[in-house]
Amino acid sequence: MPDNKNHPDSTGSFEQRGSDLRSVLSTPQGRRCLWTMMNDFGLYATSFHADNAHITAYREGLRQAALSILRDAQEYCPALFRLMMDENVYSSKT
């Protein structure tokens, strides 16, 4: 996957990408949706499947998408990312 700092993306400028992500993460619904997507994509799960390399590759592709969302959220709006973590990780343990 291209490094965000060195390659333009298909959605326009880096500033626009950051602005769009801040808009999504600025609402509870947006944070919940992105959190759910990252979990559904297996961000915190293993990609390995002992019996099928194709399944491993598929899962790893999904995980890379989740890592891209995570990396962008941490880069463009770290405070909103921390809020998303607080709402979804730390609050669920109480």
Question: pLDDT, tens digit, for every residue of 37-88?
Answer: 999 999 999 999 999 999 999 999 999 999 999 999 999 999 999 999 999 9
Tokens of 29: 């619904």
Neighbour-count burial for 3-37, b at 16+ CB within 10 Å, e otherwise: ebeeeeeeeeebeebbeebeebbeeeebbeebbee
* Rounded average pLDDT over 6-29: 83
Question: Among all chains, which residue has been given the structure tokens 């590759």?
Answer: 57
The CA distance from 74 to 52, in Å, is 33
Q: Where are the domains of the chain?
A: 15-93
Does this model's pTM top 0.85? My answer is no
The CA distance from 66 to 48, in Å, is 16
